[in-house]
Amino acid sequence: MEKPNSTSSRTRGTVKSQDGTAIAYERRGDGPPLVLVSGALATAADEAPLASLLAHRFRVISYDRRGRGGSGDTAPYAVEREVEDLAAIVEEAGGSASVHGTSSGGALALEAAAAGLPMVQLSVYEPPFVTDPAGREATAAHRSRLEDLLARDRRGDALELFLTDVLAPGVLGGLRRSPLWAELEALAHTLVYDHAVLGDARVPAERLREVTARVMVVDGGASPSWQRETVRAVSEALPRGRHRTLTGQTHEVAPHVLAPVLEGFFAGAA
């Protein structure tokens, strides 16, 4: 069911996932369907800048992953449920679609492709697997701490723990005093969902070999070396993977830089 938005070409709707959970989405543009899968703490609204840039060429569908925004959050959580959510969105798009996933959303999209979700083509930006054993140990410790804080309903502390590794020094204090903080706290419990999508954080090479779609794996030229090593490893594990670096970009990739690269790839011109 859809409700037109009177201020733009965007339409909003919901679909039911296999377990009955309502998944909210936004749709822009016409043309071949392209689904955007967001990363940690992001919703369909956060995908709006990229979706708007692509909407002149594609029917772009962004959605709130379960537990976020307008989507439900039926317990218990399992990665399989998130794959089913994406499947429901692809079905709404017409039964198959191109897909782009960012960060943990890229890891989720890769798992969905390996599970057989019909994807025309797939692009992922810096899925946050870790190739270094010490890095994986740090990731496991971070996940354990997050789970402990959230079990004690310390959402703000869990959010701060996550963002300390993400934001530049000095930014966190100002964010914590801003109105946005309360909105992010409402999503904090989904951080453990993102960790679950990554499993033990290893590049899942055997699982990736089951992906039959053509996949573009993208990194930023200014991203840390470990992140770029991960992207190369993911690309090499995929039967039809290709690697692309965006000069000067970091994990927070600029939509106006990413959009033409995605357009070229999904249009078959890249």
> Hey, which residues does 36 pair with through a beta bridge?
62, 100
Closest CA to 264 of 97, 58, 62, 118: 58
pLDDT in single tens digits along all 270 residues of the chain: 333 343 348 999 999 999 999 999 999 999 999 999 999 999 999 999 999 999 999 999 999 999 999 999 999 999 999 999 999 999 999 999 999 999 999 999 999 999 999 999 999 999 999 999 999 999 999 999 999 999 999 999 999 999 998 887 789 989 999 999 999 999 999 999 999 999 999 999 999 999 999 999 999 999 999 999 999 999 999 999 999 999 999 999 999 999 999 999 999 744
Compute the distance between CA of residue 87 and CA of residue 220 in angstroms, rounded to an integer: 28
**Cα–Cα distance list, 185 to 70, 150, 178 (Å):** 15, 11, 12
Q: What is the pLDDT of residue 44?
A: 98
Q: What is the pLDDT of residue 24?
A: 98
To which residue do tokens 């779609």 refer? 213
Q: What is the pLDDT of residue 5?
A: 41
Q: What is the pLDDT of residue 151?
A: 96
Task: Kindly give the residue spans of alpha helices, DSSP state H, lying in 94-127.
Answer: 104-114
Compute the distance between CA of residue 11 and CA of residue 20 in angstroms, rounded to an integer: 22
- Helices 133-151, 191-198: crossing angle, 10 deg rounding: 150
Instruction: Please give the structure tokens belonging to residue 224.
Output: 């840390």
Q: What is the pLDDT of residue 256?
A: 98
| CB 82, CB 71: distance < 8 Å | no
**H-helix or E-strand containing 12?**
strand 11-16
Compute the distance between CA of residue 259 and CA of residue 261 in angstroms, rounded to an integer: 5
**Cα–Cα distance list, 152 to 102, 156, 165 (Å):** 29, 11, 21
Q: What is the pLDDT of residue 268?
A: 76
Q: What is the pLDDT of residue 96?
A: 96
Q: What is the pLDDT of residue 166?
A: 85
Compute the distance between CA of residue 203 and CA of residue 130 in angstroms, rounded to an integer: 7
Compute the distance between CA of residue 210 and CA of residue 212 in angstroms, rounded to an integer: 6
Residues 6+ apart with CB under 8 A from 77: 66, 67, 192, 193, 196
**Cα–Cα distance list, 70 to 48, 78, 93, 94, 187 (Å):** 15, 19, 19, 22, 11
